[in-house]
Amino acid sequence: MTATPSEAVRIEPRSTQPQAAPAALAVDGLSLSFGGVTALNGVSFTVAAGEIRAVIGPNGAGKSSLLNAVSGLYRPDSGRVWLGGHSFAAVPTDRLAALGVSRTFQNLALFKGLSVLDNVAAGLTHRLRAGVLAQVIGLPTARRERADAYDRAEALLAFLHLEDARDRPVGTLPYGVQKRVELARALVARPRLLLLDEPMAGMTLTEKQELTGCIRAARDDLGATVVLIEHDIGVVMGLSDRIAVLDYGRLIGDGTPEAIRNNQAVIDAYLGVAHDLEAGEGI
């Protein structure tokens, strides 16, 4: 696997100011608890269209719970989620793809028995119009649709340097590659909003650099707004436009990397010793 992004993925200057665009996602007073544990406590923030928005915080801070609430896997006790102009008390997971939202999971959520290509193409299945019978009989419309979906999936494999793994059962691949397959499956439908829960966990430095390029390209070339949960502060500072910081389910910081770097509450609660930041390394 090459570490350099391909021609198409090369970073380009951003043409739009993210702050000027309307919000792609907003959460408003989101609270959620499990028994006695408060996972989210009145969290409110917005994600502007076209920005890369990091969510950071110590283990158990509620980051994954936040994404799960936004994708409808958890039902918040109170608060609302705004997605693409709609407001939800509980986001209907079945409609996420239609709303232009896709996500990856902290723990891999791939279809283990399927090949890499089938996993990625599955991300487009919700768009297919042909019914089962048309598919079984092999009507021209069904065949064309399918070929089109697989062409797009192949293009995305190229985009993420996954061609070599194309026909492998996804369960047999190394962890880092599987993570990338999941990103490919999320990207293949060209989401307007891409939610990534620790996409770089367990990756080597080279793999992280490569994936950083891919995420930036997803925004620059594919037009996705990105929400990214990540523990590696170096990656977060370099990649994101704005950062939201959670601690014990509460939003304790929200701003540009520079603002977060100098936010005393964040430093106290999470970043700990300031030189960790300068070193740009993970916690």
Partner 1 sequence: MTDLALDKPVPPNAAEPNRTAPAARRGTVRPSPTALGVGLLLAVAFGLLPLVGSEYLFDAILTPFLALALAGLGLNILTGYAGQVSLGSAAFMAVGAYAAFNLSLRLPGLPFVVDILLAGLVAAAVGLVFGLPSLRLRGFYLAVSTLAAQFFVQWVFNKVGWFSNNSPSGIVTVPPLSVAGLALDGSVGRYLFALSVVSVVTLVVWRLVDSPTGRALAALRDHETAARVIGLPVLRLKLLAFAVSSFIIGVAGVLWAFAYLRTVEPAGFNLDRSFQILFIVIIGGLASLRGAFLGAALIVVFPLALARLGETLLGGLFDSGVLEMSQRIVLGLLIIAFLIAEPAGLSALLDRLWRRVAGRLAALCSALCSRFASNRSA
Ligand X SMILES: Nc1ncnc2c1ncn2[C@@H]1O[C@H](COP(=O)(O)OP(=O)(O)OP(=O)(O)O)[C@@H](O)[C@H]1O
Residue numbers of the site for ligand X (CB under 6 A)? 34, 37, 39, 57, 59-65, 106
136: partner contacted, choices Mg ion, partner 1, ligand X, none (Cβ within 5-8 A by kind): partner 1
Q: 95's torsion region: left (phi>0), alpha (psi -120 to 50) or beta?
A: alpha
Closest approach, Cβ 137 to ligand X, in A, equals 43
Judged by beta carbon, residue 225 or residue 240, the one nearer partner 1 is 225
Q: List binders of Mg ion among 62-101 (CB under 5 A).
A: 64
Judged by beta carbon, residue 60 or residue 169, the one nearer ligand X is 60
Q: List binders of Mg ion among 101-120 (CB under 5 A).
A: 106
65: partner contacted, choices Mg ion, ligand X, partner 1, none (Cβ within 5-8 A by kind): ligand X
Distance CA 147, CA 256 (A): 43
Type of residue at 99: L
DSSP symbols for 239-279: H-SEEEEEETTEEEEEE-HHHHHT-HHHIIIII-STHHHHH
The verdict on 136 binding partner 1 (CB under 8 A) reads yes
Distance CA 228, CA 194 (A): 8
What does R_g of the chain's alpha carbons equal in angstroms? 19
What are the CA-CA distances from residue 105 to residues 34, 148, 160, 196, 279 (Å)? 20, 26, 18, 7, 28
Judged by beta carbon, residue 65 or residue 119, the one nearer ligand X is 65
Q: Select from 1, 26, 73, 173 the one that contacts partner 1 (CB under 8 A).
A: 73
Alpha-carbon dihedral angle through residues 160, 165, 171, 174, given to the nearest 10 degrees: -70
Type of residue at 173: L
Closest approach, Cβ 245 to Mg ion, in A, equals 14
Residues that bind partner 1 (CB under 8 A): 8-9, 71, 73, 93-98, 102-103, 105, 109-114, 118, 121-123, 125-126, 128, 132, 135-138, 142, 146, 149, 152, 154-156, 158-159, 163, 166-167, 185, 189, 217, 220-223
